[in-house]
Chain A
Amino acid sequence: MSEKKTKNIKEEQFPQEPSRRSFLNKLWIGLGIFALLEFSLLVIAYLRPSKTGVKSGDHETIIEAGLVAKFPLNSVTAFIRGKFYLCRLEDGGFLAVSRKCTHLGCTVPWLDKEKRFACPCHASAFDIKGELIHPPAPRPLDLYRLFIENNMVKVDTGKRIKRSGFRADQVVYAKKVQT
């Protein structure tokens, strides 16, 4: 018979099992696995956190911190609503640093007497630029995009920017008024 010539290797190992049955069995199993995968993807898609609907740049995420002149040099002001600190450096430049410690996520307070952020959870410490001065945090504090419009300091809290180190171009300066 011609079927015998087209036997595949599996048939030789299991001479009792007709090839049609084993093929259909494998087909069922394959379809079953496929269905399971599909179901898992469905469940994961359902459970996935939805986008909050607020994109970076929306007017809701941009916080008006205040006029440039309001912030003294070498100062740190906390903004609870935006969950960030506004740091004004010695040279007048601005940085908006996140209040979340980069170690495990505790909220880092600014200690004005010691002029540093000191995390109460595991004693990580950061300086006024958010740079790491004491482990175990692995990297400096994250930044939020800061820009100055009409002398008003604005911070976009929609997107947190991770950084591996401090760079001078992260600081934002108010434009000098031409006299």
Chain B
Amino acid sequence: MGKGRNGILRGGKDPERYRRYLNTFILHFRPRNVPDRTLRFTLTWGLGGMAVLLILMLFGTGVLLKFAYHPFPDRAYESILHLQYDIQFGQLIRNIHHWSANILLVVVFLHFLRVFFTGAFHPPRQFNWIIGLCLFLTVLLSNFTGYLLPWDQLSFWAITICTGMFDYIPGAGLWLQKMIRGGPEVGPYTLTNFYAIHTIILPAVIITFMPFHFWRVRKAGGLVIPRTPEETNETRGEMVPSIPNLIVREIAMALILIAFILVLSAFFNPPLEGKANPGLSPNPTKAPWYFLGFQEILLHFSPLIALFFIPVLMIIALVSIPYISYPSSTAGVWFASSKGRRMAIDATVAALIATPIGILVDEYVVNFAVWMPSLSPVISQGLIPLGIVLAGFYGFYLLLKRRYHASKNETVQVAFCFFLTAFIILTIAGIWFRGAGMRLAWP
């Protein structure tokens, strides 16, 4: 171990070399320098990074769970019990997996909001918005397929009604339902399908699209540069080295998040009800919490509208956001402008008021099916209420546009805020305000 030998044993005498190795390793996936202004926490809130970390934790705990879980109806539930009670740290691993999955949904959703409100979908980031939407869908499907695996009453019936909804999609709906269920009913083939999708197909999709998503960020020159509405787009400002400025911040966020998940997992167990019983449906039977917005919509509109038209409209709207012809790129400005800020607040408040009123009115006052029995329910409970909602929004939209003399940047934001808030209220109603028989009730 003298001088002149190149080997790891030299370490004690040459710490600088290790630091260099570590730095060059990090610099394989981090730029050498980053704009100082993008280091500000309130630009991204670290949400994208949190999402990546959570996915890694899910992969890690998922692999461990794979050693304990048996994907068969007469063994799945028992294998979870065995994991929780007999395997050392089994309960902890399951808890981490469950909380990471649910927090990931929230984080990814907030990241989606942040990207929208900072205008990080304007060129050259348009296609990355689409990739992001695909990743969002993948995370949603991962949560959904994982939900069935414990095979308890909660899982079995939630998946029964969610796959039951496919029946109402015109054309290929029934075929899709049979493919997903592996048969006419939720059963052993459903479990096999969901297990394969959850543990292999979706991870493969994530592993493919996530690096693509990151690469597109790098290609666009990194994070969107925050600015006030008056500044122009192109001032990158001062550049600082990633090591240590960016890395230290990222490590700090990562450690905080890991600590948070561990504490949560140490104290709170995920639900596990009785073993699945196909002969007994619980009252009420609810979809997983992230789908309760849709279940709530289903309670107000006919199935064809709620399960086909509305989702299709939502997808078209989301996909087209980057491709609308905006008068200018407001990338980097929170809420596009100060006008945009005020309009966004107006739209949010309007939806906060209109949505609960709409829910209550539809529940207790209006009953189109009875008032117009001659019309098919698709029209009386579908197109007519949808028409009323859209007409109401359009009126509000025109009002705001005229009042503020707003441009497309702000008005698209208004539409986004309004419907987003409405959807959140509907989800809250579905989670906490629906009780036995799915009637409105205090939580």
Contact = CB atoms under 8 A, between A and B. Distances in A.
A49 B182 contact: yes
B179 A106 contact: no
A106 B157 contact: yes
A49 B189 contact: yes
A169 to B, nearest CB: 26
Nearest to A48: B179
B178 interface: yes
Nearest to B278: A107
A108 B279 CA distance: 9
Interface stretch (A10-18, A19-27, A66-74, A114-122): A114-122
Contacts of B202: none
Given A49-B183, A136-B299, A106 B161 contact: yes
Given A106-B285, A107-B280, A138-B303, A121 B161 contact: yes
Interface string B283-295: 1110000000000
A157 B179 CA distance: 22
Contacts of B183: 49, 52
A52 B439 CA distance: 38
B173 interface: no
Interface residues of A, number: 25
Contacts of B165: 104
B438 interface: yes
Contacts of B179: 44, 47-49
Contacts of A107: 278-281
Given A49-B189, A107-B279, A136-B299, A121 B181 contact: no
Interface in A79-124: 80, 83, 99, 101, 103-109, 119-123
Interface string A144-176: 000000000000000010000000000000000
Number of contact residues on B: which range applies? 20 to 34
B202 to A, nearest CB: 15
Contacts of B303: 138
A122 B284 CA distance: 7
Given A120-B282, A121-B438, A135-B369, A105 B178 contact: no
B286 to A, nearest CB: 9
A108 B280 CA distance: 8
A160 B189 CA distance: 20
Nearest to A99: B279
B437 interface: yes
A111 to B, nearest CB: 12
B278 A123 contact: no
Contacts of B189: 49
Nearest to B282: A120
A48 B184 CA distance: 11
A105 B437 contact: no
B199 interface: no
A49 B178 CA distance: 7
A122 B299 contact: yes
Interface of A: 44, 47-49, 52, 80, 83, 99, 101, 103-109, 119-123, 135-136, 138, 160
29 contacts: A44-B179, A49-B178, A49-B182, A49-B183, A49-B184, A83-B278, A83-B279, A104-B161, A104-B165, A105-B161, A105-B164, A106-B157, A106-B160, A106-B285, A107-B279, A107-B280, A107-B281, A108-B281, A119-B281, A120-B282, A120-B284, A120-B285, A120-B436, A120-B437, A122-B437, A123-B437, A123-B438, A123-B439, A160-B184
